[in-house]
């Protein structure tokens, strides 16, 4: 599978991959494996990643969540740049940073679990508007078309819309629980 994929790849390529919000560490590792094979991240869109072909190298990727509309955003960006981290891409407030390590040590953007937990706290707060928007947009009672469908005997359309909304809602609840578990694990350790 992997070999076929390599043969068909061109100088740049978009790859589809589903990654959940709490799996950022897995995503970082995946991006590092791609870089080791010479595929360097260029752009990120929802579920799509654009890579450019280059020299295979050891690159460390780290993801951070920070709202770009925050008042201290410029200050935040400055600190990362000065510390040598290149911002490769930004998607829905997720920042993809990379650095080429100088030695065998792995540079980290968070030096302790306590501050790492804060990243997931920011993510939780960021998910609140998503939750509100989803439950509002997918509210069948707000759609005239769906209400007409119900009145005209196409009840299954209406019910499918409700089922879809319930699935989305449960998915969001699941994501939030996974993030809460992560925060709890990080904060239960000693502070340093």
Partner 1 sequence: MTGSRQQDLIRRTTPLTEASFYILISLAEPLHGYGVMQKVMELSRNRVQLGPGTLYGALTNLMSQGLIEAVDGAGGERKKLYQLTEDGRLVAEHEVRRMEELSRHGHMLLGI
Instruction: By CB under 8 A, name the binding residues for partner 1.
Output: 62, 64, 72, 75-76, 78-80, 82-83, 85, 107-112, 114-116, 118-119, 191-192
Nearest-approach distance from CB 175 to partner 1, in angstroms: 21
CA nearest to 93, candidates 115, 116, 73, 114: 73
Nearest-approach distance from CB 124 to partner 1, in angstroms: 15
The answer to whether the CB of 42 falls within 8 A of the CB of 89 is yes
Query: 24 or 161, CB closer to partner 1?
Result: 24
Nearest-approach distance from CB 183 to partner 1, in angstroms: 14
Query: 25 or 108, CB closer to partner 1?
Result: 108
Consecutive H or E run containing 5: helix 2-8
Nearest-approach distance from CB 81 to partner 1, in angstroms: 9
Query: 84 or 145, CB closer to partner 1?
Result: 84
Alpha-carbon distance of 25 to 115, in angstroms, equals 16
Phi–psi pair at 147, nearest 5 degrees: -65, -40
Q: What are the structure tokens assigned to 122, written together?
A: 């920011």
């Amino acid at each position: 599978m992997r070999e076929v994929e390599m043969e068909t790849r061109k100088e740049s390529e978009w790859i589809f991959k589903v990654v959940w919000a709490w799996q950022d560490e897995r995503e970082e590792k995946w991006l590092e494996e791609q870089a080791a094979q010479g595929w360097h991240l260029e752009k990120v869109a929802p579920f799509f990643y654009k890579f450019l072909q280059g020299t295979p190298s050891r690159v460390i990727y780290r993801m951070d969540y920070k709202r770009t509309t925050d008042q201290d955003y410029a200050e935040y960006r400055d600190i990362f740049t000065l510390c040598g981290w290149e911002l490769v891409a930004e998607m829905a407030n997720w920042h993809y940073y990379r650095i080429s390590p100088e030695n065998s040590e792995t540079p980290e953007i968070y030096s302790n679990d306590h501050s790492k937990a804060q990243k997931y706290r920011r993510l939780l707060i960021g998910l609140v508007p998503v939750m509100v928007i989803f439950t509002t947009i997918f509210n069948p009672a707000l759609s005239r078309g769906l209400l007409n469908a119900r009145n005209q005997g196409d009840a299954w359309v209406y019910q499918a819309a409700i089922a879809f909304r319930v699935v989305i809602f449960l998915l969001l609840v699941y994501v939030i629980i996974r993030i809460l578990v992560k925060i709890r694990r990080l904060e239960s350790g000693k502070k340093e």
